[in-house]
Homo-oligomer: A and B are copies of this chain.
Amino acid sequence: MNSRHNKTALEQYSVNDYRTPDGYTADIAVFTIVPIEQKPFSPPIMDLQMMLIQRSMQNSEGKPNIEADKWAIAGGFIDESETSYMAAHRELEEETGVKDLHIEHFGVYDKPGRDPRGWIISNAFFAIVPHHKLSNRKAGDDASDVRMFSVKDVLSLDLAFDHKQIIQDSIAVISQKLLQTTTAKEFLPAEFTYSELQAVLATVTNDPVIMSNPSFIRKMKQLPFIEAIEGKTVTRTSKRKAQLYRFKEVPINYSIYHMS
């Protein structure tokens, strides 16, 4: 293989003596948090789920599809005229019909042989879709099904390519983000009660400080990045009126050298 670096050619701005990748893709782990057991006047119990697509047995031309029948995260090729970030937005909108979602890059997967079709580099993103917006999703050309799975179950599926690794990493990343950044707000409406935030965090932690109601209610008022909305209450989680809160935009600085 011509993997030797031809310096002379490079100096002439000609990069094409290098072997170049066969493809550049964006793959997106789509997360949502769905309320299960939503009784009226009760705090929600939530589940962290992700959207997977099942690859068709045959492609649009009727030929056998690669990695057929396996589950995979949504993705597609990146165009020369866009960044991978833009491509992720475009593809996610094509897949779910939802715009302006929160998307973050979390890794690059480029291990040789990861895709049997060639040297294909995957930029991995995670996206957060508020549950109520995720209704009109549809299977595309290459997909026979689109479905949501709880993160508890997803790793036991038969997954395409190296998506098991990508999915595992994405779950670790989003769990950490939920606890160490204000990412939780992406799963919540702009105004929310303490028990709604608590239910979101409960999908990734069982920390007693967060799970104990009196503790957590008091915490809400102290946290610099959350503010109570003066005099605004709601009764969707209980018969008694519950205070509404919103996230505030403040820089978050902390360090492990402040731990005890």
A residues contacting B by CB (< 8 A) are: 1-3, 5-16, 18-24, 59-61, 63, 65-66, 76-84, 105, 107-108, 110-112, 116-121, 123, 141-142, 179-182, 201, 205, 207, 209-210, 216, 219, 222-225, 252-260
Q: Could you tell me the distance between the alpha carbons of A227 and B180 in the complex, rounded to whole angstroms?
A: 25
- Are B19 and A254 in contact (CB-based, < 8 A)? no
| A120 to B207 Cα, complex, angstroms | 45
Question: In the complex, what's the smallest C-beta–C-beta distance from A191 to chain B, in angstroms?
Answer: 18
**Separation of A255 and B181 alpha carbons in the complex (Å):** 8
A189: shortest Cβ distance to chain B, in Å?
Answer: 19
Q: How far is A77 from B15 in the complex, measured between Cα atoms in Å?
A: 9
Structural contact, B201 and A257, CB atoms closer than 8 A: yes
Given A80-B119, A181-B256, 10 more pairs with CB closer than 8 A: A1-B16, A5-B118, A10-B118, A11-B59, A11-B142, A15-B23, A19-B80, A108-B123, A216-B257, A254-B256
* Neighbouring B residues of A222 by C-beta, 8 Å: 260
Closest residue of chain B to A62, judged by CB?
B11
Across the interface, do B110 and A180 meet the contact criterion of CB distance under 8 Å? Answer: no
Please give, as numbers and ranges, the residues of chain B lying within 8 Å of A219 by CB-CB distance: 257
Please measure, in the bound complex, the distance between the C-alpha atom of A209 and the C-alpha atom of B259, giving whole angstroms. Answer: 11
